[in-house]
Amino acid sequence: MSFREFTANILSTRDYQGTHLEEKYIKDITAYLAGINDSIGKEKGFSFIMLEKGDEVFKELQGVGGYSGVMIKSPHYIGLTILKEDAEIEFIGAYYMQAIVKQLYEMDLGSCWVNIRNVSQGIKTKLLKDRAGSINYLLAFGIADDKAKHKASHITVTGGTSTYKQDPYGTKVLEPTDADKARLSLGELVYLHEWGKAATYEELENRGMADIFYYVRNAPSYKNIQPCRLILKDGDAELAILNPENEENYIDAGIMMFTLEGLAKEIGIPCKWDFVKEESSNKEYGIAANIEL
């Protein structure tokens, strides 16, 4: 599966079949989590935990977790645990949490981020049991029910048949969905050389990056606030976030970084990056990462 296809088609699944997944799926997912924990999590101070008893998790979080107290009910959850409250840990943890979303998607499973940052420490301790650290985010996952599947509106990004039309960004897509219309435009998302100087489509096309930034617009963010911006320079870029004092924006930036890197690598651009957390002279935004493009 192409990364563009994943980026165009992924949707948050909020309705699941009650059936628990077969043990082979749980083992495969647990092994994937363990690989991330061993390769990068131990070094960076985060880990992913499998919460198989979804009913117990839902009972603890009903009325307090999720979206304005509306908890997502699913048969299973994955928790992102952190050893301390730190922007870099959450940024990198979010990057890998979105990698898990992609892994689940490739297994034909639905998933949805669940924010429990403001849930009481007592409830978090129950979820963690004897594990160290804290937990601010879960990933609900399972088999999407028929209602969720009916809501899905996939965008085909392959081919150039007569049933597709050329959009202004050089990609073959169906008519834009309401969700796509709600996304930032390229000029709102990507700045050229300096903050606030909107990049034009022609400038991005000349750099061979118009398609990358068209699709990176689909990177999800909490309540679709879309706090991330990209400042494109010559050979590199900066990933910036609005309101850097808001820790949740570093989660969205980590998701954006995963999306941008995957799209760039798919067309042969290495896209090496480093977390920086720099304060800018303009208090409106901060820099979260430097990126080689």
The residue segments making up the domain with residue 232 are 165-292
Tokens of 77: 């959850």
| CATH number of the domain residue 174 falls in | 3.40.109.30
pLDDT cut 70: percent of the chain above it: 88
* Whether residue 175 is found in the same domain as residue 145: no
Q: What is the mean pLDDT of residues 105-110?
A: 96
Whether 45 shows a pLDDT value over 70: the answer reads yes
**175 or 149: which carries more pLDDT confidence?**
149
Alpha-carbon distance of 97 to 137, in angstroms, equals: 9
Considering the domain architecture, whether residues 88 and 127 belong to the same structural domain is answered as yes
> What tokens were used for 217?
């617009």
pLDDT at 283: 77
**pLDDT score of 151:** 56
What pLDDT was estimated at residue 149?
58
- The pLDDT score that the predictor gives to residue 278 is 80
Task: Identify whether 243 is part of a domain.
Answer: yes
CATH code for position 13: 3.40.109.10
Whether the Cβ atoms of residue 65 and residue 114 lie closer than 8 Å to each other: yes
For the cut 90, the answer to whether the pLDDT of residue 281 exceeds it is no
Q: Can you read off the two tokens belonging to residue 195?
A: 């903050």
Is 244 domain-assigned?
Answer: yes
**Residue ending a domain, choose from 149, 177, 195:** 149
Q: What pLDDT shows up at residue 148?
A: 60
More confident residue, 243 or 279: 243
Domain ends where: 149, 176, 205? Answer: 149
Say if 160 falls within a structural domain: no
pLDDT in tens, 147-164: 665 554 444 443 332 222
Domain-embedded: residue 154: no
Query: What is the end-to-end Cα distance of the chain in Å, rounded?
Result: 23
Within this chain, do residues 191 and 282 fall inside the same structural domain, yes or no? yes
Residues 258 and 183 in one domain: yes
Among 48-52, 124-128, 193-197, 275-279, the range scoring the smallest mean pLDDT is 275-279
What does the pLDDT read at residue 264?
96
